A = this chain, B = another copy of it.
Amino acid sequence: MRVMGVDPGLTRCGLGAVEGRPGAPLSLVAVGVVRTGADEELGARLVGIEAGIEQWLDDVRPDAVAVERVFSQHNVRTVMGTAQAAGIAVLCAARRGLPVALHTPSEVKAAITGSGTADKKQIGTMVTRLLRLSEMPKPADAADALALAICHVWRGGAQHRLAEAMAKAKTQDRLAEAVAKAKTQGRAASARTTRKDVAL
């Protein structure tokens, strides 16, 4: 399973892709950052983020995309731009029909380090170790994107199986419902036919 992680931001949007599956060693596919200038207009910045993510999706061809879930209570000054960058990442993935997962920072931290309150350095250290890299990916946004991707490989696998199972159950429910409905209509139709027969 190849997962692309996105640590959204307007100034630095971290992107990182890993290949792996739960219980097997992970490998690095690509890591980097899409940057836009703080002096650019919002529209130009969003177009730049979209172009960068599109290029990455073309190059990396992930099976799924994991995006950090943005909360309004953090970094009030920059949160709108972060939410918009996250929205564009979700949009780009959804346009291609790729499954998108949103993970909170504490879910990612807990998945990678075992603690939901781990700091940036701890995340970087674990990403470096898990991907067997010679040095820590920089900037922190790039390491965070890899952490999101790793989190998704580990959590996403389970979530994906759960979602599949639920979708299957839903389909079976609908099927059962449709069958029941058809039977009822069948009975109603026979009932009407019977009444009609009687009436004639």
Contact = CB atoms under 8 A, between A and B. Distances in A.
Interface of A: 41-44, 46-47, 50, 70-73, 76, 79-80, 83-88, 90-91, 93-95, 100, 102
Contact of A91 (B50, B73, B102): B50
A85 to B, nearest CB: 8
18 contacts: A41-B100, A42-B100, A43-B91, A46-B90, A46-B91, A46-B94, A47-B91, A50-B91, A70-B80, A72-B79, A80-B83, A83-B84, A84-B84, A84-B86, A84-B87, A87-B87, A87-B88, A88-B88
Q: Which 3 A-B pairs have the closest CB atoms?
A: A43-B94, A84-B87, A83-B83
Nearest to A46: B91
Contacts of A85: 87
A136 to B, nearest CB: 30
Contacts of A41: 94, 100
A68 to B, nearest CB: 12
A79 B79 CA distance: 10
A80 B72 contact: yes
A160 to B, nearest CB: 14
Given A46-B87, A46-B94, 7 more contacts: A42-B90, A43-B90, A43-B100, A46-B90, A72-B80, A87-B87, A88-B91
A113 B71 CA distance: 34
